[in-house]
Every structure is written in structure tokens, then in C-alpha cells.
Amino acid sequence: LPVDGTGSALEAGVVHQTSLSEIRSTPTRCAACPIRAKALFQVIADEYLREAEGLRVGQYRLPSRNHLYHERDAAAMAYTLFSGWLMLYRSDSDGSRQGLRVALPGDFVGYTPMARANYGHAALAVTDVTVCAFRQSDFHEMAGRDHVLGREIAEIQARDLQRCEGMVLDLGRKSAEQRIAHVLLELCLKLKQRELVADDATSMPFPLTQEMLGELTGLTPVHTNRVLRKLRGEGLLLAERQRIEIFDLDRLTELAGVGTGL
Amino acid sequence: LPVDGTGSALEAGVVHQTSLSEIRSTPTRCAACPIRAKALFQVIADEYLREAEGLRVGQYRLPSRNHLYHERDAAAMAYTLFSGWLMLYRSDSDGSRQGLRVALPGDFVGYTPMARANYGHAALAVTDVTVCAFRQSDFHEMAGRDHVLGREIAEIQARDLQRCEGMVLDLGRKSAEQRIAHVLLELCLKLKQRELVADDATSMPFPLTQEMLGELTGLTPVHTNRVLRKLRGEGLLLAERQRIEIFDLDRLTELAGVGTGL
DNA sequence: CGCCTTCTTGAGATGACTCAATGGTGGTGG
DNA sequence: CCACCACCATTGAGTCATCTCAAGAAGGCG
């Protein structure tokens, strides 16, 4: 029963009951989860939602610090995140991690339309997590049958690419402060869009460790800490365990120096 | 007749004859360009190729240092690069550029399946360039009509995303030397795959300035230069104007520290 | 109560940047 | 054909941001 945080949740695409446990009494409709209107199926009409629901393989629970999948795993499944936070990252050859994106409830992760592909990144549960699993092949087929859906999935992918390019810009051109400000703002915005946090809230849940925040921003945990303290010193925010409070959203936004598109 | 290098080639998606001149006597079939089997239409069967050719709006020539499109331009057209090199980049709010990717002959650029989207990045001609233009809408429609094609376009996008994620990894976790080595190796490999350079060639054309190489790797032009000199000092490569010679491919690869997937 | 993870802080090293000046090279016009 | 000019590469000196190593403090959990 290795809950060492490194155990594989999926092995070659097969569900591994070690850390990924099926929820047999599915209480809620999955694809039509409360967040749907704002998230994965953001752009997808109800008829697809119902069909997608039919394709669902199962709903699973994954404890904090376990992996949903690893980089080299064959990408057999895609998931919608029902509850909890995931961090998607890619590892360097020396073992250090570079965060790619944080997935919040409603996000769609692991979809890879390439034939015989690996995921290419790992997905780590930051908190306890609930996901709905779909077979990639079912998704492909469904997208193939209906080109409107196919087009909408293409849009999701295009958005992911533009986000990734924004990250390249940050890592290549921005200071540590700016990168941290940007990540925090992005998360804050996303939480509000999904109504996981009130629109006028000044503080938000924040289960990422400072080390993870550093992984996302290309920084050392030590330096991440110093930057957070500096931002606190400037009255911009307060980072506590499991929670972040943003005092001055406008100044933080200005500091982040984001153009359009966040 | 502003050939100042900053002139817009396209204005709101309309071809601007200032720098982008149509080639009226189209001598070669475009979509079926000599490189096709290895590039854009890598995975696309001949029947689509013929259809794509029918959709071609025109073939254009763009002089070196001009833009094919800017970041804020409405993404009305997509292009296949017929000859020459393009650099795709995104600008920081302070005006500095972060390179995203170099496009070589055969590459597909500017495709954006999002509705009413901007390109989100700019495309700059590194050399004189010839492109074939397509309307995004025609492409969408064609992909919609045939889901096999749609799926294949999705694969191209997925590949782009994985490349971009690799770039995030480089910028976040690797040293200047490693990033430069990686970019050079990637270009070398791509040129060989497309048979623009002999498979056993030790040197390759390299029209990028050191400044552009710095833009791609998140480095200052000055530091880029120092790194190149250092690599030369170690007998790994020789960077001249317009050309790079790689002496020790294996050691360079090892230095770059790329895992799988380049 | 004690362990383990996370956060905090210090001191010193270093990779990359800035500013500044010089030298090449190819193109252009007289 | 030559002289000039623009762009690019090169080099130096000094600074700054970020990293490394190391140690200690603060919670949470069994």
C-alpha cells in the first residue's frame, strides 16, 4: 500500500487500484458537474454533454501527493477534474520538475490526440482529487462523428497552446516577482470564473506548497519564499499555509506586466 | 515603400502589398511542395493534399526582416512556408521578444482554430520567404467535412503543444549552454529530416542572428555570444555568419540534456 | 511527544545582465 | 571602385538576480 507520493496511479493505461480508487456509487452526474458551464465543456452544448456522460469509464478518487499519471505512461485515458487541484509538470533529466499548469475543478487533463503517444507530462494530486475518466479513443470517435465537437476540442487545445506560449514569455523575459504575481493572479481569476471563490473575495484557498509554486515559475523554493516575503513587505499579498490573501489586486496586476490574454 | 523591418505585412487579415507580394505566375504546386511528405502534410493523405491545394488563396513572397503577421492581427489566414525561415515570437510589454519557434520550409504557421482570435504571436521573416496562404475558414470547413483530416490537424496541434512544453522545461530548468545546444540540435535535426541538409552533413545554413538565437533561448545577445564562444572553445561547434558547423554532435546532445522527444 | 514536511533566514557563490566600446562585413551610393 | 554606413559580432568591467548550502523554527499528524 505505497502512498509514498511517487506511486503510479495508472500503469500503461490500466487503472491501478493502489492509489486510484473507483467511486462505485456514483452520486453525481460527472460530465455535467456543477462547474461545467465555465470549464471543460465551456463551449460544448448540452447534447454533447449527455453523450460525453455516456462515455465516462468511471469516477475515481486520488489522494493528495499521488500521481494521476506519469510522463511516460501511454495516454490511454483523459480526465475531467471533478474536485481538488492537480499540478501538471514535466521533469528534467536531473529530476527537477518544471510545472506546466495547475488544473482546477472542471479542467480537462491528459487529452492527447496523437496516436500511440505518452502523456508527455505528469499529473500530481496537490490535494485529494476526484476525476472522471474517459478513454481517449472514445473521445476521438465522438469528435470524429460530430465535427462541431471536434472543432470545439480544437479550440480547447489552441487555448492550451496560447497559455503555454504565455508561460514561455514569462520564463524567458520576466523577473521572479512578475512570474509569481502572474501565476497567483491567473489562479485567482480562474477560481473566480468558476465560482469556487466569491467574485469580490480578497483571499483564496491555496494548497500549493512554496516549492510547487517555485516549480511553476522556474524558481528555487528558497527564492520563491523570499519573493513572497518581499511582496508581503510591499503590502501586495499575504501567503499563509493553504491560503493566499491578495491586498492590492491592481498593483499586483501591474507588477505582473501582462499584456492581453493574461 | 517602407522596408524598415517593422511594417505590417497583413492588416486585419488583408494582404498588404507593401511587403507581401503575390507571385502571380505560380510555377510550382504549393501544397504539394517538395517537402510535403516530411512537414505540414506529414500525416495527410494525397486526397487532402489535392483538396488543400484547391483552397490555396495565393502564393506570396516576403522579404527578409518583414513580418508575415503581428500578434494582434486577427487570425484570418494560415500559411505553409514554402521557402526561407520564419521566427515566431511573442513580445513582452516592455518590447523585448521571446522566440517561440523557428519555422522551416514545409511548416504550417498561423493556424488558430479559435473563433475571432488573434494570432497571439508574430511571424518575422528571417530570410526572404515564400508562403502559401489559406483562409482559416476554408481550413476549418475542410477539417469539418472530413474528420480524418480534422484528427490529423489535431495531431499537429498536439505536437506543437508538446514542443512548447519542452521549451518551458528548458527555460525553467536549463542553463544557457543547454538551451542553446538544444535549439541548435533541434534545428539541425529538422533540417535533416526535411532533407534541406544532407544526413551526414557537419554544417548547416544558419540565418538567425545571435540576437535572434538569444530571443529563442531567453538570453541577452551579449550572453548568447559568450556561450557560443565557450562552446567553440570546447570544440563542440563553430558559429559563423549564416552558418553553423557542429563538430561533436554526441557531446552537444549530451550537454543539451534532452530526455526523450527532443 | 516526536517526527516530518514546510517555511524561514543567513552567507556566500555564480550565472546572466548592463553598459560601453571596438572591430568586421556586406551593401549602397557617389 | 571606393568610401561610407548599417548591422552584427566581439570583448571588457562591474552589477545584480538567483542559486547553493546550511541551519533553525513552525505547524500538523500519528
CA–C1' nearest nucleotide, residue B211:
D8
pLDDT of residue A4: 31
pLDDT of residue B23: 60
pLDDT band at B163 (very low <50, low <70, confident <90, very high): very high
CA–C1' nearest nucleotide, residue B227:
C16
* Residues B218, A161: C-beta atoms closer than 8 Å: no
pLDDT averaged over chain B? 83
- Contact of B182 with B170, CB cutoff 8 Å: yes
**Choice between B98 and A21, residue whose per-residue pLDDT is larger:** B98
Q: How far is CA A136 from CA A59, A62, A198, B192, in A?
A: 15, 20, 34, 33
Q: How far is CA B194 from CA A176, A211, B102, B198, in A?
A: 39, 42, 14, 9
User: Which residue from A minimizes the CA distance to B145?
Assistant: A147
Q: Which bases on strand C have an atom closer than 7 Å to a protein beta carbon? A: 5-11, 15-20, 25-26
* Residues B90, A120: C-beta atoms closer than 8 Å: no
pLDDT band at B12 (very low <50, low <70, confident <90, very high): very low
Residues of chain B contacting A217 with CB distance shorter than 8 Å: 172
Point out the least confidently predicted range of A118-127, A219-228, B111-120, B142-151: B142-151
Report percent pLDDT > 70 for chain A: 78
Residue A32 CA to residue B27 CA, distance in Å, equals 54
* Tally of CB atoms within 10 A around B180: 29
pLDDT digits (tens, 9 = 90+) for A79-135: 989 899 999 999 999 999 999 999 999 888 999 988 888 999 999 999 999 998 989
Residue A188 CA to residue A197 CA, distance in Å, equals 8
Gap from A207 CA to C5 C1', Å: 14
Strand D at less than 7 A from CB of A241: yes
Residues of chain B contacting A166 with CB distance shorter than 8 Å: 90
pLDDT of residue B148: 74
Strand D at less than 7 A from CB of A57: no
- Which residue type occupies B82? F
Residues of chain B contacting A172 with CB distance shorter than 8 Å: 98-99, 171, 217-218
Q: Which long-range contacts (CB under 8 A, 24 or more apart) does A212-216 make?
A: A212/A87, A212/A99, A212/A126, A213/A180, A213/A183, A215/A87, A215/A89, A215/A96, A215/A97, A215/A98, A215/A99, A216/A87, A216/A99, A216/A102, A216/A183
Gap from A116 CA to C30 C1', Å: 65
Strand D at less than 7 A from CB of B239: yes
pLDDT digits (tens, 9 = 90+) for B189-212: 999 998 899 999 999 999 999 999
Asked if residue A28 has pLDDT above 60, the reply is no
pLDDT of residue A37: 38
Q: Which of B109, B142, B168 to mutate to test the interface with A (most CBs of A within 10 A)?
A: B168
Closest in A120, A257, A261 to B162, CB measured? A120
* Residues A153, B158: C-beta atoms closer than 8 Å: no
CA–C1' nearest nucleotide, residue B221:
D9
Closest CA to A149 of A31, A249, A232, A247: A31
pLDDT of residue A46: 57
The residue with cell 557531446 is B251
pLDDT band at B260 (very low <50, low <70, confident <90, very high): low
State the smallest CA–CA distance between residue B94 and chain A in angstroms.
Answer: 9
Gap from B250 CA to D1 C1', Å: 48
pLDDT of residue B65: 95
Closest in A112, A147, A159 to B158, CB measured? A112
pLDDT averaged over chain A? 83
Point out the least confidently predicted range of A167-176, B45-54, B238-247: B45-54
Asked if residue A150 has pLDDT above 60, the reply is yes
Closest in B93, B140, B217 to A257, CB measured? B93
Report percent pLDDT > 90 for chain B: 61
Gap from B133 CA to D6 C1', Å: 33
pLDDT band at A52 (very low <50, low <70, confident <90, very high): low
State the smallest CA–CA distance between residue B25 and chain A in angstroms.
Answer: 35
pLDDT of residue A141: 84
Asked if residue A24 has pLDDT above 80, the reply is no
**Choice between A18 and A260, residue whose per-residue pLDDT is larger:** A260
pLDDT band at A147 (very low <50, low <70, confident <90, very high): confident
Asked if residue B127 has pLDDT above 70, the reply is yes
- Contact of B133 with B68, CB cutoff 8 Å: no
- Contact of A71 with A91, CB cutoff 8 Å: yes
pLDDT band at A8 (very low <50, low <70, confident <90, very high): very low
pLDDT of residue A120: 96
pLDDT band at B106 (very low <50, low <70, confident <90, very high): confident
Q: How many CA atoms lie within 13 A of B219 on its CB side?
A: 25
Gap from A252 CA to D29 C1', Å: 36
Asked if residue A29 has pLDDT above 70, the reply is no
Average pLDDT rounded to a whole number, residues A35-54: 54
**Choice between B76 and B156, residue whose per-residue pLDDT is larger:** B76
Average pLDDT rounded to a whole number, residues A204-211: 98
pLDDT of residue A48: 63
State the smallest CA–CA distance between residue B96 and chain A in angstroms.
Answer: 8
Is the four-CA dihedral B44, B33, B119, A116 of positive or negative sign?
Answer: positive
CA–C1' nearest nucleotide, residue A212:
C6
pLDDT of residue A74: 95
Q: Which of A173, A211, A213, A224 to mutate to test the interface with B (most CBs of B within 10 A)?
A: A173
pLDDT band at B85 (very low <50, low <70, confident <90, very high): very high
pLDDT of residue A259: 74
Of A205-214, B110-119, B132-141, which one has max mean pLDDT? A205-214
pLDDT of residue A47: 61
